[in-house]
Amino acid sequence: MPIHKKTALSKAEVRVAKKAPPLRYRPEFCERLLAFFDVPAFRVTEVMKRDGSVSLVETAAELPTFASFAKSLGTTCAVLDGWEKKHPAFREAAQKARDLQSNILIQNSLRGNYSASFAVFTAKNLLGWRDGKEDPSSAGPLVVRWEDK
């Protein structure tokens, strides 16, 4: 039987995989999402130095993402987006997950565990943060009213 080169699956298995229906939403996915994102921002490990003294080393936790959560379920981010649109409970859980993700990013950035450029890039691309300055052209028309008294 020929093997599909990229995935080491037979052609029949590849056809079945392509036709597999998307994962159906279940309410327990809300709890699983929050548990996936509710991780400590960092861990502290004791390291023995050559002189026998002990040093504490802080290591940032892996930043949880929706892509990694989708992978853990065996689905895609597009499926998660669909669940957010259709199921208010999942939408609320996803917002809480984003808040947890934001907290991990902030904690590790403030502690120096992430570089500033990584933190800014991640905050803008994963969390939708923007720079403080607003573009005046995108704010709409400026209306000034003068009232005589």
pLDDT of residue 12 exceeding 60, the answer is: no
What is the pLDDT at residue 130?
85
* 13 band by pLDDT with thresholds 50, 70 and 90: low
User: What is the reported pLDDT for 19?
Assistant: 63
Burial (CB count within 10 angstroms: exposed 0-12, middle 13-18, buried 19+), residue 141 = exposed
Q: What percentage of the chain reaches a pLDDT higher than 90? A: 56
pLDDT value for 46: 92
DSSP conformation letters of the chain: --B-TTT--BHHHHHHHHHPPPPPP-THHHHHHHHHH---SEEEEEEE-TTS-EEEEEEEPPPP-HHHHHHHHT--HHHHHHHHHH-HHHHHHHHHHHHHHHHHHHHHHHTTSS-HHHHHHHHHHHS----S---GGGS----------
pLDDT of 85 over the 50 cut: yes
What mean pLDDT is predicted for residues 83-104?
Answer: 96
- Out of 71-80, 96-105, 120-129, 138-147, pick the least confident: 138-147
**pLDDT band, residue 15 (cuts 50/70/90):** very low
CATH tag for 13-127 (out of 1.10.132, 1.10.10, 3.30.2390, 1.20.120): 1.10.132
pTM score above 0.85: no
Q: What is the pLDDT of residue 146?
A: 77
